[in-house]
Chain A
């Protein structure tokens, strides 16, 4: 099973600043990596797929990068609505076992 590790566990950033979230896979997942945002009491929302492609309706301040085992989600000019928990997820494993990272909580500094 591919293990996904996210860092840091909690990130404190001021509104208007940039946030950088990391995700590492225990073995290569190529570019089959997605990022999700989850706010309290809500279902997750797809932000990024294919490591770097924004999903429909996702603002341009969200960007994803990386391939293989190292991935980054960058959020520029943080808005109040961006403070949430972010999960990375790989979908490269076969047979499929779509493992998630443990999440990074982005909080207001």
Chain B
């Protein structure tokens, strides 16, 4: 079964840092496009970042320069390093697999259960 399990969320003060992890099973993170999507309390979905199978990374403007997406192929795990956190970063963070073949995307077909990040003093 293809599965994603996030961890690393918690309560953090403004200005602090946190690293989220997302362990994959049933498929390889290195061979797929992997993304982070977040959802603020009571709000809609916001795309955060993607890392392509070739290693290129892209970010939403709201997190560029503060967040870094990466992966450890040996651990089959995706990460999101979050620095300079603000209250606006409070959300449930989901990691997802974007199924794709070359430039053809087939949508985010595997989602984790999410991990909650609360930024508050």
Chain A residues packing against B (C-beta within 8 Å): 1, 32, 34, 36, 38, 43-46, 48-50, 53, 55-56, 87, 89, 91, 95-103
Pair A43/B114 contact, Cβ less than 8 Å: yes
Give the distance in Å from the alpha carbon of A34 to the alpha carbon of B45 in the complex: 13
Pair B107/A49 contact, Cβ less than 8 Å: yes
Give the distance in Å from the alpha carbon of A34 to the alpha carbon of B107 in the complex: 6
- Within 8 Å by CB of B112, from A34, A43, A46, A98, lies A43
How many A-B Cβ pairs are below 8 Å? 60
Q: Within 8 Å of chain A (Cβ to Cβ): is B58?
A: yes
Pair B45/A1 contact, Cβ less than 8 Å: no
User: What number of B residues sit within 8 Å (CB to CB) of A?
Assistant: 21
Give the distance in Å from the alpha carbon of A53 to the alpha carbon of B47 in the complex: 22
Pair B47/A99 contact, Cβ less than 8 Å: yes
Pair B107/A55 contact, Cβ less than 8 Å: yes
Across-interface contacts of B58 in A (CB, < 8 A): 95-97
Pair B47/A100 contact, Cβ less than 8 Å: yes
Pair A98/B47 contact, Cβ less than 8 Å: yes
Interface SS of B by simple majority = strand
Minimum CB distance partner of A49 in chain B: B107
Q: Within 8 Å of chain A (Cβ to Cβ): is B72?
A: no
- Within 8 Å by CB of A101, from B44, B107, B108, B114, lies B44
Pair A102/B107 contact, Cβ less than 8 Å: no
Give the distance in Å from the alpha carbon of A1 to the alpha carbon of B64 in the complex: 14
6 pairs, CB–CB < 8 Å, chain A vs chain B: A36-B108, A46-B109, A50-B107, A89-B108, A97-B60, A100-B46
Interface SS of A by simple majority = loop
Least CB distance from A26 to B in Å reads 16
Least CB distance from A27 to B in Å reads 17
Minimum CB distance partner of A96 in chain B: B58
Pair B44/A97 contact, Cβ less than 8 Å: no
Pair A49/B106 contact, Cβ less than 8 Å: yes
- Within 8 Å by CB of A98, from B35, B44, B94, B111, lies B35
Given known contacts A1-B61, A96-B50, A34 and B108 CB-to-CB distance under 8 angstroms: yes
